[in-house]
Amino acid sequence: MGPMGSGKSTLGTVLARRLGLQRLDADDLFVAQHGPIADYFSTRGEPAFRQAEEDVIGEVLSRAEPCVLSLGGGAVLSALTRDRLLLGSHVVYLTVDESAALERLDGGAGRPVLAGDPGRTWRRILAERHGLYREVSQWTVDTTGRKTTDLADQVIRLVHTAESASEDHRSVHP
């Protein structure tokens, strides 16, 4: 998870391939169930969108089989989604500096939420969500100027270390 342009979808694809897991994208799942996000958002409003997004994510997180799930940047606005993420998920907060994010987002083209002043809007949205990202993440990884393969290596090391520590902890303290 992280702000727009942090590399969630790109890194999610590489992680899933490397880990041999299914890769899911919350935005893609939303579109498959409800149609284009922008249309849903404009016709039904943000509260309805956030509720439907919460439901989509909840369906994935309730599955027994592990996967790599890329979340939309605003998914953390739901308290229920945050609670669900804290229950057994490995959550990585991807950070990125503003200029790199806007470059990845083509200056905000095709992102109505960034219309007008993309940089200022991006900073405002990040400021609103930063604490929520930190609340549910186990790790923070800066993607600025880094290769996706290197990022995937780092995340895999973090997850494997956490799983090893958890197994060691369980064996010592039954």
CB-based contact 70:29 (threshold 8 Å): no
CB-based contact 93:134 (threshold 8 Å): yes
For Cα atoms 8, 13, 15, give the angle at the middle one, nearest 5 degrees. 90
pLDDT of res. 162: 86
pLDDT tens digit string along 5-55? 999 999 999 999 999 999 999 999 999 999 999 899 889 988 999 999 999
pLDDT of res. 170: 37
Domain ranges of the chain: 8-172
Binding residues for substrate: 27, 50, 73, 129
pLDDT of res. 167: 60
Question: How far are the Cα atoms of 43, 73, 88, 121 from residue 85, in angstroms, in the given order?
Answer: 28, 14, 7, 26
pLDDT confidence of 173, banded at 50, 70, 90?
A: very low
Binding residues: 5-10, 27, 50, 73, 111, 129, 146
Which among 82, 67, 86, 79 has a CA at the least distance from the CA of 29? 67
Q: Give the tokens for residue 16.
A: 């899933």
CB-based contact 102:119 (threshold 8 Å): yes
CB-based contact 4:114 (threshold 8 Å): yes
Of 3.40.50.300, 3.40.30.10, 3.40.640.10, 3.30.710.10, the CATH number of 8-172 is 3.40.50.300
Binding residues for ATP: 5-10, 111, 146
Which pTM was predicted?
0.91
Binding residues for Mg(2+): 9
Q: What's the mean pLDDT when you consider all of the chain?
A: 91
